[in-house]
Amino acid sequence: MDKDLVEKRKKLICELVEDEMYVPMKEKEMAIFMQVAKEDREEFSRILAQLLKEGKLCITPKGKYTKPDADLLTGLFISNIRGFGFVEVEGRKEDLFIPENRVNGAFHHDVIQARLLPGQRGKRQEAEVIRILERGTKQIVGTFQKSQNFGFVLPDNNKLPFDIFIPRELSGDAVDGHKVVVELTDYGNEGRNPEGRIVEILGHINDPGVDILSIVKGFDLPLEFDQKLLQQAKRAGTQVSQADMEGREDLRDVCMVTIDGEDAKDLDDKFSLSKEGEDYLLGVHIADVANYVQENSALDREALKRGTSVYLVDRVIPMLPHALSNGICSLNEGVDRLALSCLMRVDAKGQVKDYNIVESVIQVNRRLTYTSVKKILEDKDETEREKYSSLVPMLEQMEELAGLLRAGRKKRGSIDFDFPETKIILDETGHPIEIKPYERNTATRIIEDFMLLANETVAQHFYWMELPFVYRTHDTPEMEKIQQLGIFISNFGYGLKAAKDEIHPKEIQKLLGKVEGTPEEALISRLTLRSMKRAKYSVECTGHFGLACQYYCHFTSPIRRYPDLQIHRIIKEQLRGRLQENRQQHYQAILPQAAEHSSKMERRADEAERETEKLKKAEYMADHIGERFEGVISGITGWGIYVELPNTVEGLIRISALMGDYYEYDEANYELVGRDTGKKYKLGQRIAVIVDSTDCFTRTVDFVEDEYGEGSDEAGSQ
C-alpha cells in the first residue's frame, strides 16, 4: 500500500481513539465503524499493529483499543539470565526494570507493552509486561542434549534464562553436543519451558569453525547469496563497456594509486594528488557501485537487507557478491574502472577552496600497500623508494597534505582515537595462537585524512542544496557518562573540564593528547570511546561530535556499506539533472527507513564481531591458566572487578575471590571497599592477576588477584 495512504489511515485511527466521545472498541468493531472494506481488513490489522508498536495506541486485556495511557509504554524487552529483564523505550533516557515475576512470558527482543508499577524500590522505574506485541525471537542457536525420549537445547545467548524442550520426533538426527538451530513452536509459560524443533545442525561443538558459525547463525547473519543473485552479479561483466564510459570525465591519464592492506581484495577507493602553486589538487575516487547495482533490483534489495559487510575473526561476510566487490567494482591496477570522483583544491592551510564531484573513468597506476608506503615515508627504505621512484614525490606530498588536514581537525577539536586495535591470529583449525596489535602508521593515517575530507565535502555540498540525503551523525555524550569517565581518569591524575550540561570535543581531544605514549593510553582511550554515544545514519544533518564538524556522511565505501551506495545514487541523479520533485519525494519516503535499518545492521555486525573476539580471547587465555599478568581495573560492579590486560583481554575477579575481608560496592565512587581493612579497589588501579579459569560457552575469563603482586607481561606483549 502507498506509504502516504498508510500514514493517512494511521492519522484517522489516532484521531478516532483520541476523540472525547470514543468508546473503546475491538478491531472488528472499529473496522465496521470506520467503514473499512473487507478486502482492506488485513491491511487495517497491520496498521493497528504498527500503531501499537509505535506506542500510539493501547489495547486492553479484552482486546479493545484505547488512546495511549501515561502508565503504558511500548518498547523492546531485553531479558537477563537471572530471569528479570529491562525494556528499552524510545525517547526515554532510563530503561524500565521488569522483575522476574512480572515478565509474563516475554522473550528477549520481543516488542512489548509495559505498565509502570507504583512505588520505586530500585534505581530504575519498575514495570510489568502486560502484552507481547511482536515476537523478536523466532529461532535460537544452542547445544543439543539428548535424553531417551526427548531432548533439550541450551541457548548460546546467555540472555535466555531457560532451555528449549525438543520432542523426540522434532529432534532430527541431532546427537549430544551438536550445535543446532531451533525454530520455536511454543513460547511456554510460567513453569513450562518453551518448545521447538531442530531445523539445522551446524556440527559438533568441538568441530573447527562451528563456534564462529554458531555466532553467525545466532545473529541471523546471511552467509550465502542466492544463485540468482550470483548470476545477476556475474552479468555485470569483467570489463567496463564503452557505453558506460559515455558522458563521464576521463581521468585515465591522471596518476593515481590505491593504498590498502596486503590481503585486501575489494579496492573501492583511489587517490590522486598534484600541486598547482601553493594549492593541492586532491582527488578521492570511489568505485561507482551504483552503476552495477540498480535501485530495487534483487542485488539492491539484498544489499539493503544486509546493510553492511561483516568482518569476523575468521571470515568476511560481504554485502555484495565477490563477482562485484572483487571484480568489476574493485579498482584494480591497470584496468579501466567507473568511479565517482571528489576533486578538491586545498590551500596551504588545509582548507578546501573549491571542489567538483563528477562521474569519471579512471585507471589505477599502481596498487600500494600500507607496508610499502610506511617503508617509503617513515623508514626511508632505499630499496622501496627506488622500486616506486616515480611515485615518491606524490606520496611525500600526500604526507604533507595529510598533516595539514590533521592539524586543522585538531584545531577545531576533532577526536582521534589512536589506540591499538588487536588482530587475533588463528591456526588452520581456528584456534587462536596470537593476539597482536593492528599497526597504524603514516600510510593508514593518510587514507583516513583524505577519506574524512571527501566525506565532509560531499555532505556539506548536499546539505546546502537542500536535497534528500543520508548523513552520518554523532550526538553529544550524556553528562552522566562523562562524569563516570572523569572519576575513572582521576585515578591516573587526569581531569576533564565540562560545562554543566555539555562537553566540547576539544576537552576529550586534550585528554587523549595527555595520555598519548603512556602505559594507560590504550585503556583510557577505549573507555573514553565507550562513554561516547554511538554514531548513526540519519536524514537529519545534526553534526558529528567526535569529528567536531557540522556536515558528515559516508561516501567512500559503497562496496561494503549500504548508505554509501544509496547516496551515490542521489549524487548521480543530481549530476544528470534527474533529481526532480517526484524523485526527491521518492527519496524522502525511503531514506528514513533505509538509514534506520542501516544503523541497526551496523550494530548487529559490531555485536557479532565483538562476540567472536570475546570467544577467541577466552579460548586463547585457556592456554595461559595459572599464569600471572599485569592489568588495570577497567570496571567495578557489585559482583566483582573487571581487569583489562595489555593485550585487550578483559577478565573478572569475582568479589567472592577477594581474600582477607568483606568488600562492599561504593556506587557513588565506583569502588570496592573492605569493611574491616578499608582496602580499596579503584578504577584505573594497576593490579597483578592470575588466570583462574575461562569459559568459551559464556565467552568469559576469570582472574584471581596475585597476592604477591608479581606480574608478568608474557601474554600482555602478544
Q: Tell me the C-alpha distance between 18 and 16, whole Å.
A: 6
With CA atoms as reference, report the closest residue to 452 among 436, 476, 474. Answer: 474
Q: How confident is the model at residue 712 (pLDDT cuts 50, 70, 90)?
A: very low
The reported pLDDT for the residue numbered 625 is 97
Tell me the average pLDDT across 159-173: 89
Q: What is the 3-state secondary structure (H, E, C) of 629-685?
A: EEEEEEEEECCEEEEECCCCCEEEEEHHHCCCCCEEEECCCCEEEECCCCCEEECCC
Express each pLDDT in 495-544 by its tens digit.
Answer: 888 766 788 898 999 998 888 888 778 778 888 888 899 999 999 999 99
C-beta separation of 659 from 672 below 8 A:
no
The reported pLDDT for the residue numbered 527 is 84
The reported pLDDT for the residue numbered 716 is 41
Q: Running DSSP on this structure, what letter comes out for residue 321?
A: -
Rounded percentage of the chain residues whose pLDDT exceeds 70: 96
The reported pLDDT for the residue numbered 669 is 74
Give me the torsion for CA of 509, 514, 517, 519, rounded to 10°.
-110
Q: Running DSSP on this structure, what letter comes out for residue 325?
A: I
Whether residue 188 is predicted with pLDDT greater than 60 in this model: the reply is yes
The reported pLDDT for the residue numbered 709 is 61
Tell me the average pLDDT across 82-99: 85
> Cα 452 vs. chain centroid, distance in angstroms?
19
CA pseudo-torsion sign 604, 608, 609, 610: positive
CA pseudo-torsion sign 472, 478, 484, 489: positive
Between CA 478 and CA 484, with CA 479 as vertex, the angle to 5 degrees is 105
Q: How confident is the model at residue 121 (pLDDT cuts 50, 70, 90)?
A: low
Q: How confident is the model at residue 638 (pLDDT cuts 50, 70, 90)?
A: confident
The reported pLDDT for the residue numbered 674 is 87
Tell me the average pLDDT across 340-354: 96
The CB density around residue 93, as the number of other CB atoms within 10 Å, is 7
CATH number of 625-705: 2.40.50.140
Give, in words, the CATH class of 3-66: mainly alpha
Whether residue 596 is predicted with pLDDT greater than 50 in this model: the reply is yes
- The H or E element spanning position 244 is helix 242-245
The reported pLDDT for the residue numbered 418 is 65
The reported pLDDT for the residue numbered 522 is 75
What is the overall mean pLDDT for the chain?
89
What DSSP assignment string belongs to 251-297?
A: -TTS--EEEE-TT-----EEEEEEEETTEEEEEEEEE-GGGTS-TTS
Radius of gyration of the chain (CA): 28
- Residue whose C-alpha cell is 558506460: 244
Least confident of 491-495, 520-524, 647-651: 520-524
Report the DSSP beta bridge partners of residue 72.
115
The CB density around residue 323, as the number of other CB atoms within 10 Å, is 21
Whether residue 266 is predicted with pLDDT greater than 70 in this model: the reply is no
The reported pLDDT for the residue numbered 51 is 85
The reported pLDDT for the residue numbered 1 is 52
Pairing of strands 85-88, 366-369: unpaired
Tell me the average pLDDT across 32-59: 85
66-92 residues labelled b (16+ CB within 10 A) or e (exposed)? bebeeebbbbbbbbbeeebbbbebeee
Tell me the average pLDDT across 113-119: 83
- For 552, how many CA atoms within 13 A lie in the half-sphere containing its CB? 20
Q: How confident is the model at residue 610 (pLDDT cuts 50, 70, 90)?
A: very high
The reported pLDDT for the residue numbered 431 is 94
CATH number of 72-134: 2.40.50.140
Q: Tell me the C-alpha distance between 570 and 551, whole Å.
A: 17
Three-state SS at 237: coil
The reported pLDDT for the residue numbered 419 is 62
The CB density around residue 536, as the number of other CB atoms within 10 Å, is 18
Amino acid at 557: S
With CA atoms as reference, report the closest residue to 469 among 573, 369, 541. Answer: 541
Least confident of 275-279, 330-334, 430-434: 330-334
Whether residue 20 is predicted with pLDDT greater than 70 in this model: the reply is yes
Q: Where in the chain is the domain with CATH 2.40.50.700?
A: 139-207
Q: Tell me the C-alpha distance between 629 and 665, whole Å.
A: 25
- Residue whose C-alpha cell is 545467548: 157
Give, in words, the CATH class of 139-207: mainly beta
Three-state SS at 138: coil
Between CA 678 and CA 684, with CA 681 as vertex, the angle to 5 degrees is 145
Give me the torsion for CA of 64, 70, 75, 81, rounded to 10°.
-100
Q: How confident is the model at residue 676 (pLDDT cuts 50, 70, 90)?
A: confident
The reported pLDDT for the residue numbered 713 is 44
Highest mean pLDDT range out of 120-134, 182-196, 366-380, 556-570? 556-570
CA dist 687 → 631, 650, 703 (Å): 5, 13, 11
The reported pLDDT for the residue numbered 718 is 40
CA dist 170 → 53, 186, 543, 651 (Å): 33, 13, 53, 39
The reported pLDDT for the residue numbered 123 is 62
Three-state SS at 157: coil
Torsion region of 555: left, alpha or beta (phi above 0 gives left; psi -120 to 50 gives alpha)? alpha
Sheet containing strand 680-682, strands side by side: 663-666, 671-674, 680-682
The reported pLDDT for the residue numbered 481 is 86
> Cα 594 vs. chain centroid, distance in angstroms?
15
The reported pLDDT for the residue numbered 325 is 87
- Choose between 344 and 74: higher pLDDT: 344
With CA atoms as reference, report the closest residue to 286 among 577, 574, 560, 540. Answer: 560
Express each pLDDT in 571-581 by its tens digit.
Answer: 999 999 999 99
Three-state SS at 384: helix
Q: Where in the chain is the domain with CATH 2.40.50.140?
A: 72-134, 625-705
- The C-alpha cell of 300 is what? 539492491
Q: How confident is the model at residue 427 (pLDDT cuts 50, 70, 90)?
A: very high
